[in-house]
Amino acid sequence: MLEVGTKAPEFTLFDQDGNEVSLKDFKGKKVVLYFYPKDSTPGCTKQACAYQSSINEFINKDVKVIGISKDSIKSHKNFSTKQGLEFTLLSDPDLIAIQAYDVWKEKKLYGKVSMGVVRSSYLINEDGIIEKAYEKVKPDTNATDMLKDLD
């Protein structure tokens, strides 16, 4: 995990519509950057839907919500459409942002060790500084925890 108070690493990735998106595009706005393992899995769907159900609260606070995984643009588009997501999903197949934000870790599942994205989230302030950092977040409470931090 990156430290609170440090500069958020810059990145440029493609969203679910094939548009280039850079962190610098949101200078002057707060950004919730959440990293998740895989589109259309139970936990990731629960997390995305929790953000979607709170999206108006984030919009009212002038906060941009961005989800990042290593899934393809097409996978993000299908996931976004199926779940009715109104926020940005970024495709990071080359692990550019995933590694820069230190969320690519060794994971153990049923005794098997592999590398993967640890479900994590960051709150980045208007100047691009990390205000909050959460590792191993719970999919169903991550969005409400972030909203509490914004109050």
Catalytic residue positions, numbered: 44
CB neighbourhood size of 126 (10 A): 13
CA–CA dist 133, 135 (Å, integer): 7
Residue with tokens 């990156």: 2
DSSP 24: G
Interatomic CA distance for residues 49 and 70, integer angstroms: 19
**Of 97, 141, 117, the residue nearest 41 (C-alpha):** 117
Asked if residues 146 and 121 have their Cβ atoms less than 8 Å apart, the reply is: yes
* 69 bridge partner residues: 91
Q: Are 7 and 125 in contact (CB under 8 A)?
A: no
Q: What is the DSSP letter of 133?
A: E
